[in-house]
Structure 1
Amino acid sequence: MTDPSPTPLPVTLLTGFLGSGKTTVLNGLLRHPGLSRTAVIINEFGEIGLDHELVVSTTETLVLLQSGCMCCALRGDLLDTLVELAERREAGELDFDRVMIETTGLADPAPILHTLLTSMDLSERFVTDGVVATVDAATGPDTLRRHEEARRQVALADLVLLTKTDLPEADEPAARREIAALNPAAPVEVALHGRIDPRRLTGLGHFDPTMKSAEARGWLRQEAVPVPKLADLDALRHLDAIRSVSWVIDEPISANAFDLWMEMLMAQRGADLLRFKGLIHLQGVPHPFVVHGVQHIFHPPVLLTDWQGEDRRSKLVLILRDFTDPELRDLFSALNSVAVSEHVLPVGYLSAEVTP
């Protein structure tokens, strides 16, 4: 009898545009005992400026801190770095329970998420636990308006840390408005002087099959997401090419129709669907499914144990790039008009979950 596969280790991405306070946040995290048994992959030791009194031991590529956190310098390919960490852990050389990856200020989190989800060497060892993005309250609003990289970081975030709110030039309301325009479902927390409890950075991805319906609804944060009617799409127009749109569907959905709709969307505009989250009521299924994806990558659907309250409607939140208003209207109407032949469609994303 073979041993069961080990539980994949959760991975958190810490991202943020140049000057957003990401390094200050990371400095505080590295000193916090709450980050013990965490392997942190950083770009350069020199940029972090570790205090010598915090260092327990060091090698060319690894620094062990008194907090119990291990810092690993990123050398070359991220995949190789993660595989090396995993192999050393499996060999008993290193002892850690989770991983945090610091990205560069100009990094797009999507390729990293793609690597974690599609690499055979990584997918059984690691699971994405969430993306955290830093935005500074002083220059952040202008940065988000001017830089595509910063917008993508916020659009893909599960949590946004608002930094530098204590500066005289800070405009916290403006920063929150820009963040909400890109990703209204992401909670925003103030990291005063870069300080944040590491526990707030865990469990963000919610890829837990035991997730309860109430937690899923909190994850989707329905109360913070405006629900547009088809006639109101003109009101959604932003100066930014990235927009967030939410959609409520009153009637239960055919699993095959949903799969076909997603296949059509992926084939035509998959690269421009930056992210989607949803709570889906399928025909003939009493409990809701949670769905989640980044561009072409779909996380396995999670069937919840119950509904919270009387609301049984399906809810989708899509973060899109370069969609015109007519395209959005077509997108909204397409799902209801998909012609489905139940007996000829191949088993797909959600239909596989309900096929005997």
Structure 2
Amino acid sequence: MALIPSTILTGFLGAGKTTLLKRILQEDHGLKIAVIENEFGQENIDNDILVQHSDEQIVEMNNGCICCTVRGDLIVALAKLAQKRDAGEIAFDRIVIETTGLANPGPVAQTFFVDEEVGSYYLLDAVVTVVDARHAMMQLDEHEEAQRQVGFADKILISKTDLVEPAQLDALMARLKRINPRAPISRSDFGRAPLAEVLDLRGFNLNDKLDIDPAFLTEAEASGHNHDDEHEHVHTEACDHAGHDQNNHHHSHHSDDIAAFVFKSERAFDPARLDQFLAGLVNVFGPRMLRYKGVLLMEGAERKVVFQGVHQIMGSDLGAKWGETEERRSKMVFIGKNLPKDIFIRGLEQCLV
């Protein structure tokens, strides 16, 4: 039986997640989507979306979508939904999970890989992060959770762009790309985002035989420095925290604990050395490694190796064959909290043939 595609919708308080969900729950799009509100407070989806009684857990909408309120364990809720679906009590073909505005999406994402029952029913499709153009700069300065939400994203939707000047929007987009160069960015004012930019993104594939989008490092490379040596990493202000006032918005750049850097090489990796080094990285720095992803050139291999991970969970698989005229090189991006870039890069260089 095919796995149920699942989307994690995250974003800081007031970013516009509920507005987007309202559209999903009410629009006549022909899709049967189960929306899970992963809230632990008294308030759930706004009353103007649906009337929620205290004894109701699942409400079916007019367009065939389902709204489910989760007041306890997400794993239990996902399992119950799958069981009800198998029993024919409810019908849905995909799931959207909305996290709280202060949530770190990492543990939610890991749920799909560490729990066998969840993994037997669901496939994590993507983490989609909504960013408030009006308040994002301040939120990123003051709240690590906001940085984590951006760092985990496979797709970023910017809301409230009508409330800021073009220069402010450009500065925000530049900062988002420095934090996470692999996530495409689109606008989503008033929840108006095509569902194709929210669902079926295939942005989160651990051990999946799908080639990585060859352009996923384009933004990182464009914003990096052109070195003539074998590797390149994106410099951010996180390289030097000394003397920087994070709350001073007169600076054109901001110091973010969550940042990205890129490694590239035209030399092939030695598989055994790389496996050993990556295992060591994950063991030591796993909690600080939000997302990492790459297309690898291995010694003697005619196919690309696709690798990706979140925190301590890492997977790799064979990708497409290298094209006859294609430039063979490894490209890797790491997104994390205060990761020691020099250690990563020197270690990776030592794994090259």
TM-score, structure 1 length as denominator? 0.83
Which of the two has greater helix per residue? 1
Pick the aligned partner of 1:201 from 198, 201, 220. Answer: 198
Is 1:89 the counterpart of 2:85 in the alignment?
Answer: yes
- How far off is 1:252 after superposition? 1.3
- How far off is 1:222 after superposition? 2.7
Q: 1:174 to 1:339 in 2, by over 3 A?
A: closer
Instruction: Report 1:266-305 matches (<5 A).
Output: 266-305=282-321
SS of residue matched to 1:81:
helix
- CA deviations on 1:83-106 (whole Å, 9 max, x unpaired) are 100111111212111111000000
- How far off is 1:47 after superposition? 3.3
Amino acid at match of 1:48: D
In structure 1, C-alpha distance between the alignment counterparts of 2:232 and 2:45, rounded to whole Å: 47
Instruction: Report 1:1-356 matches (<5 A).
Output: 6-34=1-29, 36-42=31-37, 43=39, 46-51=44-49, 60-168=56-164, 171-204=168-201, 205=203, 207=205, 209=208, 211=210, 213=211, 216-218=213-215, 220-225=216-221, 226-227=223-224, 229=227, 235-238=235-238, 239-307=255-323, 310-323=326-339, 327-338=340-351
Q: 1:74 to 1:35 in 2, by over 3 A?
A: farther
- How far off is 1:309 after superposition? 5.4
- How far off is 1:302 after superposition? 4.2
- CA deviations on 1:159-212 (whole Å, 9 max, x unpaired) are 01100011256831122122112101111100122211112112322539563x
- How far off is 1:20 after superposition? 1.1
SS of residue matched to 1:336:
helix
In structure 1, C-alpha distance between the alignment counterparts of 2:350 and 2:181, rounded to whole Å: 28
Tell me if the contact between 1:151 and 1:242 (Cα under 8 Å) persists in the aligned partners.
Answer: yes
Tell me if the contact between 2:57 and 2:68 (Cα under 8 Å) persists in the aligned partners.
Answer: yes
Tell me if the contact between 1:266 and 1:296 (Cα under 8 Å) persists in the aligned partners.
Answer: yes
Match of 1:348 in 2: none
Tell me if the contact between 2:12 and 2:130 (Cα under 8 Å) persists in the aligned partners.
Answer: yes
Match of 2:251 in 1: none
Aligned residue-pair number: 326
- Aligned-residue sequence identity (percent) comes to 32
- CA deviations on 1:309-351 (whole Å, 9 max, x unpaired) are 522100000012123xxx32222111232599xxxxxxxxxxx
- CA deviations on 1:115-169 (whole Å, 9 max, x unpaired) are 1111011111111100000111111111112110000000000001100011256
In structure 2, C-alpha distance between the alignment counterparts of 1:126 and 1:286, rounded to whole Å: 32
Amino acid at match of 1:141: M
RMSD: 2.7
SS of residue matched to 2:76:
helix
Match of 2:246 in 1: none
In structure 2, C-alpha distance between the alignment counterparts of 1:89 and 1:35, rounded to whole Å: 18
SS of residue matched to 1:217:
coil
Q: 1:309 to 1:274 in 2, by over 3 A?
A: farther
Amino acid at match of 2:101: G
In structure 2, C-alpha distance between the alignment counterparts of 1:232 and 1:296, rounded to whole Å: 24
Amino acid at match of 2:303: H
In structure 2, C-alpha distance between the alignment counterparts of 1:88 and 1:127, rounded to whole Å: 18
- How far off is 1:49 after superposition? 2.6
SS of residue matched to 2:13:
coil
In structure 1, C-alpha distance between the alignment counterparts of 2:292 and 2:6, rounded to whole Å: 20
In structure 2, C-alpha distance between the alignment counterparts of 1:233 and 1:224, rounded to whole Å: 8
Amino acid at match of 2:47: G
Gaps of 5+ in 2: 239-254
Task: Choose 101-110 or 176-185, whichever is displaced more.
Answer: 176-185
Q: 1:227 to 1:78 in 2, by over 3 A?
A: same
In structure 2, C-alpha distance between the alignment counterparts of 1:308 and 1:45, rounded to whole Å: 57
Gaps of 5+ in 1: 1-5, 341-356
